[in-house]
A and B are shown apart, each in its own frame.
Chain A
């Protein structure tokens, strides 16, 4: 899934929040790629055990983030694929007076599955 999200380079700091819906065990890696490059600027790992430690700030100055790519790859397993089938991986981009959501959703199959979200910052 590839999406584009506009930010205000002169506004306040931008927060990226990752959350999960569904009775799943999920681990993810958040990468921030440099624009027009194959260099990774930031790497963060997380999971869905604790929902309060899954937000990250875009580096300052904000204008430098234009063209950069947020890459969230998640691996997950459904804990009850017979009864609780749906999953959702949500990446929210917050800046005061602006919220943008990018959602990848589907059905769990009981095996290890992956979700891939790319967001180009404009």
Chain B
């Protein structure tokens, strides 16, 4: 019941945010919020049993705060993860469009860092995670979409030509030369007003008007949120019984490969592969000492999304083999993603996990997740 109430609250919140759109559009008129941010460092922390690392947009900074609602109260999250695109940050002031086109993989390379706390046998362990990822295919990226850029370029060309035609007309109507024009601020101010007047009279759409640009952006979001994407990622997880760096012991190395493609206009299918190398400790009863051993896990997941860029639901199935006890594990997961405001996402999911399905003592459990994501 409480979950239903929260979902209703979120839908109301989303509609409130929608009604405030003109202001937010003025501020961030060209921001494209496609997929919610997912980060390798966040996934390896293990706050959610799904092993699919969803391809997401490149942002110079994105943050994930998982589990901020415990079923009855809003709580301080026990984990945080953030991701940065370092080359995008470094080249912020000097990047050129053709340089970006030559090495898009360099600018979409992202590193992430995450941390969380976990109680094991009454000891509060600190987890620290480091990750990196590269997007090899991203057909829904506005920055590298040449067809979309060409459309903008044509509109810009039309506008600049129209403005120059008005400039010639203005000089002739005033009977002045270009030399007179550039040496007199009054003429320049008068021309700007002349331009505004002419543009308001013109039948040619002026693309500097907010609605036209927003229309292009909105159409782009609608048509491209589910386009083909291929991400490859790696993350490392270390665990420490205290918060001291030198006491960190390696816990996991994990790699992901995820491919997404459109299924009709409103759907997307993701296929994800994850390989994880795990370090574990066990008490040796003969020597009464802790022994370290290693094992691997391999997961194959598939997830279907359906909806619009702002509001979509998903359903997911996953098979996982664990080398720890040669077990076969299954996961069913479903949920929803809501883009409540530009750059802010709410993700809710609920799932059913079956551990070691082939054995009589297999464990089955429900789980849920509720996270807030910023990009």
Contacts and interface: CB of A to CB of B under 8 A. Distances in A.
A79 B97 CA distance: 10
Interface string B43-72: 000000000000000011000000000000
Contacts of A34: 178
A25 B156 contact: yes
Given A83-B60, A112-B213, A38 B177 contact: yes
Interface in B207-254: 207-208, 210, 213
Contact of B161 (A45, A76, A86): A45
Interface in B145-190: 149-150, 152-157, 159-161, 163-164, 168, 171-172, 176-179, 182-183
Contact of B97 (A40, A48, A83, A86): A48
B29 A111 contact: yes
Contacts of A77: 30, 152, 156, 213
B219 to A, nearest CB: 15
A51 B213 CA distance: 25
A56 interface: no
Nearest to A73: B160
Given A28-B160, A29-B160, A111-B210, A51 B96 contact: yes
A31 B92 contact: no
Given A2-B182, A83-B88, A111 B156 contact: no
Interface in A22-70: 22-29, 31, 33-38, 40, 43, 45, 47-51, 67, 69
Given A111-B208, A114-B163, A38 B178 contact: yes
Contact of B59 (A22, A23, A83, A86): A83
A23 B179 contact: no
B98 A75 contact: no
Contact of B98 (A51, A67, A85, A109): A51
B95 A21 contact: yes
A49 B176 contact: no
B88 A78 contact: no
B109 interface: no
Contact of B179 (A24, A40, A81, A120): A120
Contact of B157 (A45, A67, A82): A45
A114 B160 contact: yes
Contacts of B208: 111-113
B93 interface: yes
B143 interface: yes
B94 interface: yes
Contacts of B95: 21-23, 84
A31 B93 CA distance: 28
Contact of B153 (A31, A47, A81, A86): A47
18 contacts: A21-B94, A23-B97, A26-B156, A37-B178, A38-B176, A47-B156, A48-B97, A49-B153, A75-B157, A75-B160, A77-B30, A77-B213, A79-B30, A79-B142, A81-B30, A83-B89, A86-B93, A118-B182
Ranked nearest first, the 4 interchain pairs of A and B with the lowest CB-CB distance are A110-B30, A27-B156, A110-B29, A112-B208
